[in-house]
Chain A
Amino acid sequence: MAPSCGTGNHPSSLIPRLFIRRLGSIKAGESLSQECDDSNFQVLDFPGGKVNFSSELRFLSESPLERISCYRVLDDYGQIISASNFQQVRKEIALKMYSDMVTLQTMDTIFYEAQRQGRISFYVTTIGEEAINIASAAALSIDDIVIPQYREPGVLLWRGFTLQEFANHNFGNKYDSGKGRQMPVHYGCNKLNYFTVSSTIATQIPHAVGVAFALKMDKKNACAITYFGDGGTSEGDFHAALNFAAVMEVPVIFFCRNNGWAISTPTTEQFRSDGAVIRGQAYGIRSIRVDGNDALAVYNAVHAAREMAISECRPILVEALTYRAGHHSTSDDSTKYRPLDEIEHWRTARDPVSRYRKWIEGNGWWNDEVELNLRSNVRKELLQAIQAAEKTEKPALAELFTDVYDQVPSNLREQEKLLRETIKEHPGDYPPDVPV
């Protein structure tokens, strides 16, 4: 009855050293190890590595005993947690981080208001996710390619997109780099390595893997980073992207903003895993969970992720725990589906911007006066930008037909001609601020 102990000349072969026990051939008390060396015997050589055999009928638990812990550097009071393992941020960078977070907040307030007044058609705020936006951007280099969702305009701000450029896009005027074709907040900027936003959830995630593969082939000292929400992790594109990235071994950072809600759907109805972070392991991807409302923790996690992604040419998954403190968009009223005190708690006790401010204040780098100045200057600059953007005419009619292809094909040339005739006949049907 001795099982044959194969020598395993072909360790990666699919004909493994299986030990087949003939039914009923072992008497009670007899042990296999009498006849064959244990170590050889209880291991299956299988593609991907050795697998131990076990005689225990045991299912892998659906969840680990403890939830994956969350990396943080600053406590709730903006003090560095004594044992924390982090890289010091230079004063200059630290202050730019703060002022960009404040600028992002101000942008949100003013554009939101402009939407309410009917001056722009739509808006999405990043309220509650300012630290994620700015600190992750600060940890990257400008050569890293950003493949965003729609709630990361702070990354673009950090990279130097001006308030006027934000306003031009949201008003869809002739200076909008997207030529007025998309809804507001669908920013994109080639020169800042920021791909154009699409409204479709999760479609950008596999793009990032392709981008990262290109960076790898071109031997660039850069990575790709893609952002998405907790809701996005349910789409097939998310899973395809993680699997591709692991198999292709590419330098990409998957940044999940787990903000608790996908419109009205809470994460408990989105997934039953321990958030997004745990999925990394299933795909063979190194992962970390970070406090998304702690700017220093986000900075450090992304900084380290970038180092590993590039030097080891591997994907990294970062899950930032946070809260969508605003409504989903200007089309949403979130009090319909979540308690006010929950929103209030995150807006006050867990606000990432004031927590970070306590830290820079503690360093003696900031005070009330500078704060007031900053806020009032940003506000003024934005109001001016909005006024200018609003007064600027829309892109010319010809742009309706360009960029569908690299050149305008004959069907579109014909349609343009017809349309121009119609406009001549019925000028009143068409908005006067689109030059024909």
Chain B
Amino acid sequence: MMALRRAGGRLLIPKRAFSTSLESVEKPQKDGKMLNLFSAINQALHIALETDPRAYVFGEDVGFGGVFRCTTGLADRFGRNRVFNTPLCEQGIAGFAIGLAAMGNRAIAEIQFADYIYPAFDQIVNEAAKFRYRSGGQFNCGGLTIRSPYGAVGHGGHYHSQSPEAFFCHVPGLKVVIPRSPRQAKGLLLACIRDPNPVVFFEPKWLYRLAVEEVPEEDYMLPLSQAEVIRQGNDITLVGWGAQLQVLEHACDAAAKDGISCELIDLRTLIPWDKETVEASVRKTGRLLVSHEAPVTGGFGAEISSSIIERCFLRLEAPVARVCGLDTPFPLVYEPFYMPTQNKVLDAIKATVNY
């Protein structure tokens, strides 16, 4: 129903211990401020509006700052013509955004929860994704970026927890991008907004407040379709995206205690994805594990697994492991059971290495 606040300690919410992300621990930037993820998104939106007078930000409740506070201060700063509430209608938001983008603008649309992106599915899949192709390249809506919070949050139940990325990865013409941390979020979001293709950008809402790291204040972009090796290792390659990177990172630490050296890759852009980086890593380690919160069947992990088997069949020393959500709707009280937890990942790492 909207921003979920962490209830007090009596709930059995698996605590996702947060260590500031990955690369920043090693090399903090001098010019950055410590920011959480929603503030980093907010900074990116400020910059996007500032640097391009043809950029617009809109969606349900974005005017007062959004239910997750990502659009705080934007309406005051840039005016209600450029930052505004829309009526409660996701198909309207997406369709409107496509038209706006087709006129040479940057349409930055918010869908309040990824769980509510489905009413906009037709507009995104049949319209945005095919706009360029079907017109023979005469028209495009490349200025379109759809932002939406996704994933588990501890108590979201069916409709405030879903990870629908795989649906969109099945659609040629779209890009799908998911950041893992505040610094990544800012750089990737700016790249998505300025990319000349329609992009769906899913934000890990569990990390909106929990993830804090140093984020450069300036305008910067991180490359799309480039995975990042965030930890080098020799025994097994772990691939994930978004909030799941934290779980994988902790599993790497735990595996290291057992003498297993993991290479950890953040895919960052899901389509078109960086097969080469994953392939190079698997050629080195000989083993692959993919992990995501979405149900295992038909998840994007299946695509990664299949592509890597095609490319590295003779090099693989064990079957590709998938540690993912269960094939059930996202359940409230069973959330800890549903999730691809650190120990599930760790067990799968060991099983794969000892295959």
Contacts and interface: CB of A to CB of B under 8 A. Distances in A.
Interface residues of B, number: 54
A263 B326 contact: no
Interface string A314-353: 0000000000000011111000110000000000000000
Nearest to B8: A118
Nearest to B335: A431
Interface of A is mostly: loop
Interface in B4-18: 4-5, 7-12, 14
Contacts of B85: 264-265, 269
Nearest to A183: B157
Nearest to A263: B61
Contacts of B155: 121-122, 183
Interface stretch (A243-251, A292-300, A381-389, A393-401): A393-401
Nearest to B91: A236
B338 interface: yes
Contact of B89 (A235, A336, A423): A235
A118 B8 CA distance: 4
**Looking at A121, A183, A270, A425, which has the most chain B CB atoms within 10 Å of its CB?**
A121
B153 to A, nearest CB: 10
A395 B90 CA distance: 35
A180 interface: yes
Given A182-B157, A183-B156, A329-B1, A419 B333 contact: no
B63 A234 contact: no
Given A270-B87, A433-B12, A122 B4 contact: yes
Interface string B193-234: 000000000000000000000000000000000000000000
A422 interface: yes
A338 B160 CA distance: 25
B2 A429 contact: no
Nearest to A202: B88
Given A235-B89, A429-B341, A429-B343, A331 B5 contact: yes
Contacts of A331: 1-5, 67
A199 interface: yes
Nearest to B339: A429
Interface string B63-100: 11101000000000000000011011111100000000
Given A199-B160, A264-B63, A400-B328, A231 B14 contact: no
Interface in B313-355: 326-329, 331-334, 336-338, 341, 343-344, 347
A23 to B, nearest CB: 37
B126 interface: no
B127 interface: no
A236 to B, nearest CB: 5
Given A331-B5, A429-B341, A198 B88 contact: no
Nearest to A412: B327
Given A121-B11, A270-B88, A331-B67, A198 B347 contact: no
A263 B332 contact: no
A263 B9 contact: no
Given A124-B1, A433-B12, A231 B344 contact: no
A336 B64 contact: yes
A120 interface: yes
A172 interface: yes
A160 B1 CA distance: 26
Contacts of B274: none
B347 A404 contact: no
A426 B337 CA distance: 11
A264 B115 contact: no
Interface in A59-77: none
Interface residues on A, range: 35 or more
Contacts of A115: 7
A271 interface: yes
A430 B336 contact: yes
A426 B91 contact: no
Given A199-B158, A419-B326, A422-B343, A400 B338 contact: yes
A407 interface: no
B60 interface: yes
Contact of A200 (B159, B331, B341, B347): B159
B78 to A, nearest CB: 17
Contact of B332 (A180, A425, A429): A180
A220 interface: no
Contacts of B338: 400
Contacts of B159: 183, 198-200
Interface in A400-416: 400-401, 404, 411-412, 415
B230 to A, nearest CB: 24
Contact of B343 (A122, A262, A426): A426
A181 interface: yes
Given A180-B332, A198-B159, A235-B119, A262 B337 contact: no
B333 A172 contact: yes
Contacts of B326: 400-401, 412, 415, 419
B57 to A, nearest CB: 15
Contact of B88 (A181, A234, A411): A234
A201 interface: yes
B19 interface: no
B61 to A, nearest CB: 5
A180 B64 CA distance: 33
B254 to A, nearest CB: 11
Interface in B140-177: 154-160
A415 B10 contact: no
A119 B10 contact: yes
Contacts of B157: 181-183, 186, 199
7 contacts: A122-B7, A264-B64, A397-B337, A400-B331, A415-B326, A425-B343, A425-B347
Given A121-B332, A400-B331, A415-B296, 6 more contacts: A119-B8, A181-B329, A262-B88, A332-B2, A395-B333, A400-B328
6 nearest CB pairs, A to B? A118-B8, A199-B159, A431-B12, A180-B333, A121-B155, A234-B87
Interface of A: 115, 117-122, 124, 150, 172, 180-183, 186, 198-202, 231-232, 234-237, 262-265, 269-271, 328-332, 336-337, 394-395, 397, 400-401, 404, 411-412, 415, 419, 422-423, 425-426, 429-431, 433-434
